[in-house]
Amino acid sequence: MRKLLFAIMCIFALLVGAYPLLYAFVESKYTFLSSKSPEILHSVIWKIAFFAHIIFGGLALFIGWRQFGPSFRSRYIALHRAIGKIYVIAVIISSVSAVYMGFYANGGLVSETGFILLAITWLMTTAIAVAKIRNGQVIQHQQLMTYSYACAFAAVTLRIWYPLLIQMTGDPVNSYSIVAWLCWIPNILTAYFLNMRLKT
């Protein structure tokens, strides 16, 4: 069952991680951009932040799952480190961009706060994880990276929860405000319970 759940997680991570490719083949009016006002869409800074966020966030999601599994880490240490470095760079770019974008999130202050805190949590857990491994604190590094990837996986859970909430409430605006928190808080709690298995 554990292997099946991990496989499902990996499939979702790969699919949503490849999501930015959609913007190369689909008109903007059929994507998330159609929900933004003309004023925002004409902002060069916002568009740079948006594409930086989805491209590098997608990359982090796409490669991050491979870091889990002790057999992979022990057999391919150099590859594990290389993927880790790419992941960290991708997180820094995507999370910083997400903080800026958070101030323009649909749904008002509730959504803005939820997404900004998600971005900050993602950045901080990743940064502290890097500091821990540099100090040789392997278990703490693994725990923090679990939290980090839980934040990255919010891209997946958002796309699961949001349509379900719309179906239940019939209210896209309030559903988006809820999903700004629901997409990552349960992920963090799940990471916490997973980390309880690791001895500090």
Tokens 């002790």 map to which residue? 70
Residue-wise pLDDT tens digits, 76-109: 889 989 999 999 999 999 999 999 999 999 989 9
On the 0-12 / 13-18 / 19+ scale of CB atoms within 10 A, 92 is middle
CA dist list (Å): 48 to 34, 75, 95? 16, 38, 13
CB 165 within 8 A of CB 152: no
Dihedral (Cα; 39, 42, 48, 49), 10-degree rounding: 0
Are 177 and 108 a contacting pair, CB within 8 Å? yes
Quick: pLDDT tens for 161-197.
999 999 999 999 899 999 999 999 999 999 999 998 7
| Per-domain boundaries in the chain | 39-195
What distance lies between CA 128 and its chain's CA centroid? 17
Instruction: Map residue 137 onto helix, strand or coil.
Output: coil
| pLDDT(24) > 80 | no
| 20: exposed, middle or buried (Cβ count in 10 Å: 0-12, 13-18, 19+) | middle
Is the whole model's pTM more than 0.85, yes or no? yes
